[in-house]
Structure 1
Amino acid sequence: MSGPSSRRRPGLLYTAPAFGLSLLFLWFWIGRHHEQPVVYPPPRPINNAPEKEMIREDWDFVRDARNFLMTDARCDEAFPELFKEIDRAVEVRKNDHVTLKELDEIVKVKGYMRAMIYDQQLYVLDAAALAINLREQATLHAIHRAIVTSPEPLPNIEFVFMSDDIAAGTPEAKWSYSRQLNETYNWLMPDFGYWSWPEPKIGSYLEVQMKATAMDTKLAWRKKTNKLIWRGASMELLVREQLVNVSRGHEWGDVKIFSWEEEGPKPESKEILTMDEHCAYKYVAHTEGISYSARLQNLQNCNSVIVSHQLKWLQHHHHLMVSSGPDQNFVEVAADFSNLPETMERLLKNDADSERIAGNNVRTFREHYLTPAAETCYWRKLFRGYASVSFEPEFFDAKGKWRGLPMESYVLERKLTWNPH
């Protein structure tokens, strides 16, 4: 047979084997590709993009209070005085960086939690057997919100935080809610109550702020009760007993100790006040507890004068408290409240000055430095500051397995291991 078709047969004979070999090579290459170990998460550069020039914007409470999307530069601009504690901690460790060995040596006491941020994901690595109410959960949620709302990549870090009133143990780098002046190794983080404090029915911090604002809107300064209010459990704390004793017998005093066991079942009791009910008074007393007291950050939402003894325990925002001058936003008395009577007499005689101090309190805290936006900025600044003097964590352990459990699963099961069910 002759013709064009016969001349094409040799080409087909060569083409078919070549095509088959190509398929075989492709199958072999795909198989080899999938045999290679997959490394996750992939390397990702952090903060390597040139920063865009910012147009300066003044702080606007109505616009910015709940803005979780601020860049690092915008956070600096909006809250220029907020990050003093982070700067202090970085300075302490700039020549003595945090190490993995240091974290390994932290004693796992009640309220201990070890976590890691890796590739914009929060992982729980370890936790104490005993939790403290829902504090650890609240702090994990706050950290997670700061991560997932960040408009910029965050560094990989590994850290330990303590949810107890006192960050017990030896002086390793621990994140804690408060510290004393000599505890320079502690890194201050926002209190758990900035997420929520459900046990005493205080609720979420945004709820506290909304209710305090509503109370202040309803009650002008001149209509507020012209007394000093305080309610609290004794806890056998000397400073609280001193407040009660010094206030006794004075017309300006509405200071009482209650028992949760006695008052808890009686919702109609007038001895326990909600946080916004404190705002109905012109003067609100504050005392520390076992260490700090989370009551203060709630009271600072009232258009009232905070009257506090000299504090021994510091929180992340305490440096913003001003006790004198035109920017005064609280009144400080002696550590034992011994000069409280004369201080109250002076305040009562100078009502306009008291109103000015109360107004400064609201503008500094409720309407600026204790807003949700400020808290989120503080968390992200803490991540970056800590990373600058710490080590780069490993995602896999020595056996090539993931380290820890993603936060999303941990907060549901509230444990690191469990049987399928």
Structure 2
Amino acid sequence: MADVNKSPSQSRLLLISVPRTASNLMLKILNLPGQKLVTNEKGGYFFFNAFIKVDNNGRITLPLEERSEAQKQEIRDALQEAVDGLEDCAQRAEQEGKIAFAKEHAFWLTNPAVLGNQAEQAASFRLRIPDKYGPSQTFSPLNHTVLPDEYLRTWRLTFVIRHPALAFPSLCRAMQKFRQGGIMQREDTVGSMKTTLTLTWTRMLYDWCLEQPDLPGKPLVVDAQDIIHNPQVMVQYCEETGLDPSALQFEWESKQEVLDRQTMGPDSQSQQKSDVDLAKAEAVMLSTLLGSTGVIKDKTPTVVDVTAEAKQWKEEFGEELAYMLETTRIAIILTCLFLVFLVLRLRIGGITPGSPATQSFPRVNGSQQHSFSNLSLSHAQCVAAFPGLFSEIEDAVSRGPFTLTWSRLGEPLQGSVKDNQLYILNWQKKAFLSEQMLNERTAALNQLYRAIITSPEPLPDTLFALNIQDRPIAQSWSYARPADPAATKAGDFPMPHFAFWAWPLKYIGSMDRALIAIAEIEANWTFHAKIPQAVWRGTPWFNDVQNHDLRKRLIQVTTGKPWADVQALEWETNGETARNGLAIEDFCRYKYIIYTEGVTYSGRLPFHQACRSIILTPPMAWMLHTTHLVRPVFSSTLLQTEPRLGPPHQSDRIKRAWPTDLDAGDANLVMVSPDWSDLEATIAWLENHPIIAQGIANRQRELFYDGGYLSPAAETCYWRALIRGWSKVVEPEGREWTEHKGVRWELFSLGGF
């Protein structure tokens, strides 16, 4: 008898949710068809049909004596069928050496007698459980489900939650659509919502788990906020439960057209009304997911303001529903319950609700820092570790296919990736390149080669063009692209800067060397202890034609100002060093760093973003591969009492490039006027608001450094995603591509070409 109730290890996973908690999104990301598991055709819903019987068209709380014996028997039969299906799934999984997977709403498992406030009659819905789980059925005080303790203990439970102030109004909106679509009557939806607008069943089941001494694994709690905004949690969830993290998907094809045909097409005319209504209900509940091609982050805020949400409910839902959601009676009480879960939820390292890191991207702990040096992350791991990193690639792919022709002069360099090997096909001879250009080309190709040979997955074969000039070349990989979407063309793909390999200047070296040096400074300098000046070094005449006085004007505005350490570089030794130059890490000793673009981009930007300092820059005209992660606040927003200074984004080009002006509490960079006219006022404002200023500086370092976006892992991830994205839209044209076999990089790198 000692082994009767022994758990079948961690081979059974049961997700417990309530409606509108992003649980279907979680399943989409988990990619159930790609996992080694057994489930059913409903995505793990075994109790759905049984609940339809219990719900009785919204009359779920109907006393048992008001139901006929036939109705009660229908419910028993449906519940038994659900349990039999669940057990069959578990047995098949055990036989096949896979994981059994189920997903149920908490109230679907709840005993119908308990739902009807007649717990004393719960025994009338006891079900048949195989004898191997024990000779008796125990229902401890917190177990109000139809599954006895002995059986429930064989499943590892995961609780999927979402803040009630977001989940419950979302359900109300769905119910309104049910009424508008004729799926349910008003009184039916109100009855259903009285059961579903609660975390009671979820909380009791969670507390039941905490009382059990022999569960196959601790109960897990996953917050919808993390599912949407913190993909690394999904990787950790897989590692915790035995699922395959490499199978995770964060983008997919839209399924909306298929669902539209099912609910409105000719086939729907031959179905029974109940089936059509269920299909319509599914269309409502899954509309966002089925119409999406990936995780839509702006569908839920990163911080929930219950008071602000509650103000909308009365106008949106009317008196009765608003009363059900009223902050003082439901939302706040349930929020307290929610916060208990939140403390215990499955999460990464040091994330806390409302911290600056959760505003956009996750904070990092020690284990993640270690992974930042891992060059062999899978694509799914890359997506999870570095949310938003591939946006530039995704945007470039969305611009559509383009033709790639053979370059007559070998510029840009052209090559191929074939069978996870790098070949050089067409290049400029060394005699035509300066030493600096040759170094940059070698660095870029070493970066590409490193990413290819460390890939844990096959990369698609493709032909490519790699441009090392400062100014982008059409249909190539370049260091930057125009920030103005109107000036960006199909085939414009940003690639990582060569400094991620090496930049042979005395005061730079390489990205990883600089990051180590910067980390030393940041460990010993608080933001408020830094030099209270704005620092800049550069060559005054090195400007973009669209703002040809940018640097000259900067020097004019800052000359003699106590708040500025702005100097034109005094070059010596043939331009190799400057008498007044600063090591790149020493910029981090200043509170404020002024960033100026050159003829196009400036490669200094990523180094400055590793500092816990505030970057002050005119709206940037060029986008490096991570510039899209910048979250700017405009100086005009900070200086609202100084309208005479005017907005910093004056041209249509700049407005298209940077259309969103954030609040200072969300920003990680400050954009000032292109003529520097408000630079002094902006610095004065930041000095007078030290807490806000520190927040801007913190968010920058937390994202770019702590978040790992400047790490070797992120760089190799980006190169591999670049190969994948480019291969989808490039269309080589001309016989030259087949006539040239190319030279393997290993041989090419030895020189002589």
Give the TM-score normalised by the residue count of structure 1.
Answer: 0.78
Could you say which residue in structure 1 is the equivalent of 2:558? 247
Could you say which residue in structure 1 is the equivalent of 2:513? 207
- Higher relative helix content: 2
Q: What are the residue-to-residue correspondences of 1:67-86 with 2, within 5 Å?
A: 67-86=374-393
Q: What are the residue-to-residue correspondences of 1:6-405 with 2, within 5 Å?
A: 51-52=34-35, 55-57=234-236, 58=348, 60=364, 61-93=368-400, 97-99=401-403, 102-104=404-406, 106=407, 108=409, 112-129=412-429, 130-131=432-433, 132-168=437-473, 171=474, 173-180=475-482, 181=484, 182-185=487-490, 186-237=492-543, 238-261=549-572, 269=579, 271-324=580-633, 325=663, 326-368=665-707, 369-391=709-731, 403-405=741-743
Q: What letter matches 2:405 in structure 1?
A: L
Taking a change above 3 Å as real, the CA distance of residues 217 and 103 of structure 1, as seen in their structure-2 partners, is same
Name which of structure 1's ranges 213-222 and 295-304 shifts more when overlaid on structure 2.
213-222
Question: 1:304·1:358 contact (CA, 8 Å) conserved in 2?
Answer: yes
Question: 1:263·1:272 contact (CA, 8 Å) conserved in 2?
Answer: no
1:268-302 deviations in Å (ceiling 9; x for gaps): x4x11001111111111000011000011111111
Q: What letter matches 2:566 in structure 1?
A: V
Task: Report deviation, 1:314.
Answer: 1.2
CA–CA separation in structure 2 for the residues paired with 1:349 and 1:359: 17
Question: 2:234·2:384 contact (CA, 8 Å) conserved in 1?
Answer: no
Taking a change above 3 Å as real, the CA distance of residues 355 and 235 of structure 1, as seen in their structure-2 partners, is same
Q: Which runs of 5+ in 1 are unaligned?
A: 1-49, 416-421
Task: Report deviation, 1:167.
Answer: 2.3
Q: What letter matches 1:91 in structure 2?
A: S
CA–CA separation in structure 1 for the residues paired with 2:743 and 2:602: 32
Name which of structure 1's ranges 129-138 and 346-355 shifts more when overlaid on structure 2.
129-138
Q: Which has the higher contact order (CA 8 A, sep 6+)?
A: 1
Could you say which residue in structure 2 is the equivalent of 1:413? 751
Question: 1:244·1:256 contact (CA, 8 Å) conserved in 2?
Answer: yes
CA–CA separation in structure 2 for the residues paired with 1:249 and 1:398: 62
Task: Report deviation, 1:250.
Answer: 1.7
Question: 1:329·1:361 contact (CA, 8 Å) conserved in 2?
Answer: yes
Task: Report deviation, 1:214.
Answer: 0.8
Could you say which residue in structure 2 is the equivalent of 1:38? none
CA–CA separation in structure 2 for the residues paired with 1:387 and 1:242: 43
Task: Report deviation, 1:89.
Answer: 0.9
CA–CA separation in structure 2 for the residues paired with 1:152 and 1:354: 43
1:374-419 deviations in Å (ceiling 9; x for gaps): 111111111111111235899x9767xx71111112122151xxxx
Please give the secondary structure, in 1, of the residue aligned with 2:465: strand
Please give the secondary structure, in 1, of the residue aligned with 2:477: strand
1:220-271 deviations in Å (ceiling 9; x for gaps): 223211110101122353211111111122210110001323796878x4x1
Task: Report deviation, 1:357.
Answer: 0.9
CA–CA separation in structure 2 for the residues paired with 1:52 and 1:319: 33
Question: 1:158·1:393 contact (CA, 8 Å) conserved in 2?
Answer: no
Q: What letter matches 2:558 in structure 1?
A: S
Task: Report deviation, 1:109.
Answer: 6.6
1:311-359 deviations in Å (ceiling 9; x for gaps): 1111111111011333311111011212111111101111222111111
RMSD: 2.6
CA–CA separation in structure 2 for the residues paired with 1:108 and 1:288: 29
Q: What letter matches 2:552 in structure 1?
A: E
Q: Which runs of 5+ in 2 are unaligned?
A: 1-32, 37-232, 237-347, 349-361, 544-548, 634-662
CA–CA separation in structure 2 for the residues paired with 1:409 and 1:328: 47
Question: 1:233·1:260 contact (CA, 8 Å) conserved in 2?
Answer: no
